[in-house]
């Protein structure tokens, strides 16, 4: 039976939205929403926030979550996950859940974990959804994915891909959802590799995996993720939260 470790990397020094994990959505900081959403997963044996900032550490402690301080010289959330999971060999699957997706659905987490439970050869999985709002497609903040017939990622890009030369074909674009599921050994190998050329061009670390022949299984969902990267995103998330509260009364 696989033991599964859920990790939520959280940085204070976001360029576009400083202090992002501690910005409030309704009556809670965003990191608390993310933690509570992820904790609904039926597969996670342990859930931990990883941060380099004592303010985030204290906030997670305050709401009763599990949290670990990690070195501030780690360059990415993936590196934080590898640093922490290296100390816990009893977990053979590691789930990296983005801290800026406060309302991530439990089913997205669980169904993205499932391929690694079912097929031993799969080393990495992630999630995607078809764009419903075509006005978002050209926004580089929403990476796009192209997958093959077996559901594995061919490429991730901030550009609009694929290009539809034939107007008679129905246009479908896949938006990446911020979750990765790794076999622990694969995660440790990936983070020891140097940045790849395409990764540096696009600033998408998943391209390092593709360039080094790690297959990434993409699970598709009928789901509209709410990620928070800007002040406008935060306003939208608060409106969503208010509507959600109203509908639950």
Task: Spell out the domains of the chain, with CATH numbers in brackets.
Answer: 4-247 (3.90.550.10)
Q: CA 101, CA 227: separation in Å to the nearest integer? A: 5
Q: CA 29, CA 120: separation in Å to the nearest integer? A: 38
Beta bridge partners of 153: 147
What pLDDT is attached to residue 246? Answer: 52
Mean pLDDT taken over the chain: 94
Q: What percentage of the chain reaches a pLDDT higher than 70?
A: 98
Reported as a single tens digit per residue, the pLDDT across 82-138 is: 999 999 999 999 999 999 999 999 999 999 999 999 999 999 999 999 999 999 999
Return the number of other C-beta atoms located less than 10 Å from residue 185's C-beta. Answer: 12
Q: CA 142, CA 222: separation in Å to the nearest integer? A: 16
Reported as a single tens digit per residue, the pLDDT across 204-228 is: 999 999 999 999 999 999 988 898 9
Given a cut of 80, is residue 28 above it in pLDDT? yes
Q: Global pTM?
A: 0.94
Q: CA 3, CA 89: separation in Å to the nearest integer? A: 10
Cα–Cα separations (whole angstroms), residue 190 to 127, 185, 186, 194, 215: 19, 9, 6, 9, 12
pLDDT confidence bin for 75, thresholds 50/70/90:
confident
């Amino acid at each position: 039976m696989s033991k599964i470790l859920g990790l939520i990397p959280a940085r204070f020094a976001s360029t576009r939205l400083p202090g992002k994990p501690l910005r409030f959505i309704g009556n809670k900081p965003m990191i608390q929403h993310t933690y509570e959403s992820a904790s609904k997963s039926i597969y996670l044996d342990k859930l931990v926030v990883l941060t380099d900032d004592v303010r985030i550490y204290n906030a997670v402690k305050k709401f009763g979550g599990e949290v670990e301080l990690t070195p501030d010289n780690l360059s990415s959330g993936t590196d934080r996950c590898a640093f922490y999971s290296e100390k816990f060999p009893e977990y053979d699957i590691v789930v990296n859940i983005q801290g800026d997706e406060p309302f991530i659905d439990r089913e997205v987490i669980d169904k993205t974990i499932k391929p690694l439970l079912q097929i031993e050869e799969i080393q990495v999985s992630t999630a995607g959804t078809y764009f419903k709002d075509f006005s978002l497609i050209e926004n580089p903040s929403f990476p796009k994915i192209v997958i093959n017939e077996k559901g594995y990622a061919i490429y991730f890009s901030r550009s609009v891909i694929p290009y539809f030369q034939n107007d008679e074909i129905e246009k479908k674009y896949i938006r990446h959802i911020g979750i990765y599921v790794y076999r622990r050994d694969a995660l440790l190998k990936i983070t020891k590799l140097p940045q790849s050329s395409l990764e540096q061009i696009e600033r998408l670390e998943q391209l390092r995996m593709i360039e080094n022949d790690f297959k990434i299984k993409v699970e598709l969902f009928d789901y509209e993720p709410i990620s928070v990267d800007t002040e406008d995103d935060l306003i939208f998330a608060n409106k969503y939260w208010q509507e959600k509260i109203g509908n639950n009364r």
